[in-house]
Amino acid sequence: MQHEVRQLAAQDVVMFLTDNAVGDSEEENLRHLTTNLAQEISPARVVPFLTCKHTLPYCLMYADRAASFGYQALTVLGGDRTVGPPRCVDHAFELRQLIRHRAAGLALGGWANPHRDAATQAQFLLRPDFTGEFFLTQIVSHHDLPAIEAFVRETRARGVTLPGVFGVFYYRSANPATLAHLSAFLPVPVAAITRDFAAGLSAATICARTIRALRNLGIEKVYVSNLGFRGAARRYREILAAVDR
């Protein structure tokens, strides 16, 4: 992992590191980060994820520790309601509000979903109690362009100024079982992705097509999910090369 982190850090990458938000028990990602990455990359280049699927004292202590370790940003999400322990609060913005009172120096991130009603999602981002400096989106694809366009149009029309980072997934294959499993947690254009691979497109090319489509809409900030740790730097370079082709 350290070797991959060094390579990614050399390419000026900001890394969003998640806990296991869909598992029966969530892993302690902050301890992992500070133990394994302390000498590899500045905390300013890493943004941990925290979901509400822990006890409230744990979540607040997590934010305190993140701030004390030098992390400058924290993404606070609700976490999947269908599996694992219940949330400690109903909505992530409630946890962000509590964290803001304790760790005012942390930039906090929230969530938006372009696959849902665009006006409602834009209004969430405009609410005074959103309590965040940036937002991440659900995974999107170039096969979902109408929904993305509607979301972008609505946020711009309503004057949303928060920077957004759009999610792009690195599909490694068209394995039906894998795509079916992923579909339980994120919107997967299964038929279209299957056609892409059947046409001979590489995983990097499919990912790059989504990034290019987002760029064409004026979206410059994306995060790429599912790069993994082994081979992440190589996959990242392949995607960049495919984007520029």
Greater model confidence, 17 or 170: 170
pLDDT beyond 90 at 152 = yes
pLDDT tens-digit map of 178-217: 999 999 889 999 999 999 999 999 999 999 999 999 999 9
Average pLDDT, stretch 159-173? 96
Query: Which pLDDT score is estimated for 167?
Result: 95
Q: Per mean pLDDT, which of 13-22, 44-53, 62-71, 129-138 is the most reliable? A: 129-138
pLDDT tens-digit map of 116-135: 999 999 999 999 999 999 99
Distance of CA 241 to the CA centre of its chain: 22
* CA-based torsion, 157, 158, 159, 160: positive or negative: negative
Tokens of 26: 């969530």
pLDDT beyond 90 at 222 = yes
DSSP characters for the chain? -HHHHHHHHHTT--EEE---TTSSS---HHHHHHHHSTTTS-GGGEEEEEES-S-HHHHHHHHHHHHHTT--EEEEE---SSSSSPPSSSSHHHHHHHHHHH-TTSEEEEEE-TTS-HHHHHHHHHSGGG--SEEEEEEE-GGGHHHHHHHHHHHHHHT--S-EEEEEE------HHHHHHHHTTS---HHHHHHHHHTT--HHHHHHHHHHHHHHTT---EEEE---STTHHHHHHHHHHHHH-
Name the percent of the chain lying above pLDDT 70: 84
Query: Which pLDDT score is estimated for 34?
Result: 64
- Annotation: CATH topology of 2-238: TIM Barrel (3.20.20)
Query: Which pLDDT score is estimated for 137?
Result: 97
pLDDT beyond 80 at 25 = no
What is the pLDDT of the chain when averaged over all its residues? Answer: 87
Confidence of residue 245 (pLDDT cuts 50, 70, 90): confident
Radius of gyration of the chain from Cα atoms? 18
Query: Which pLDDT score is estimated for 42?
Result: 75
Query: Which pLDDT score is estimated for 85?
Result: 84
Average pLDDT, stretch 73-93? 89
